[in-house]
Copies of this chain bind each other. A is one copy, B any other.
Amino acid sequence: MSISSRFAVGIHILTFIELNKGKVSSSDYIAKSVNTNPALIRKMMGMLKRAGLIEVHPGIAGAKLAKKPSEITLLDVYKAVNVVRENQLFRIHEHPNPNCPVGRNIQHSIEPIFAAAQLEMENFLKKITLENIVEDIAKKEEIG
């Protein structure tokens, strides 16, 4: 139906860390900004950490980016938080009837199309970096 808000939250977390570089970005502070539970943020920080996007350490408050914002694409975040299975944005019905010409071929006909459509979307996400988001928000704050 819809791709989990983990993706949006992941972007939020990274943006928060970057825009609060001087201060300590603990799961508690981030949770307040996102307006959700600290445990959820910690779980997500774990994913971002495993993907090599941030540095966090048990017992030590706060997190920092492991790369420059310009080197973190939205695709990186998207993959880190695991919102869409590899090549599985579109689900295909299983076990169509092999005795039917349509049933025995439809999967193989559709699969490459679905994969290509997914790739179009993911390639777009690859072009946007965390820096773009951070700058956009900085600009909005100046004006506002």
- Copies of the polypeptide in the assembly: 2
Of residues 72 through 92 on chain A, the ones whose CB sits less than 8 Å from some CB of chain B are: 74, 83-85, 88-92
Residues of B within 8 A of A32 (CB): 97, 100
Q: Are B90 and A137 in contact (CB under 8 A)?
A: no
Complex Cα spacing A89 to B106, Å = 24
Residues of B within 8 A of A84 (CB): 1-2
A24 near B: Cβ within 8 Å? no
Complex Cα spacing A116 to B16, Å = 23
Q: List 18 A-B contacts (CB under 8 A).
A: A1-B1, A1-B3, A2-B84, A2-B89, A3-B89, A12-B102, A15-B102, A16-B102, A32-B100, A89-B121, A105-B137, A105-B140, A106-B137, A109-B140, A117-B124, A118-B121, A120-B120, A120-B123
- Total count of chain A residues near the partner, CB < 8 A: 56
Residues of B within 8 A of A95 (CB): 35
A60 near B: Cβ within 8 Å? no
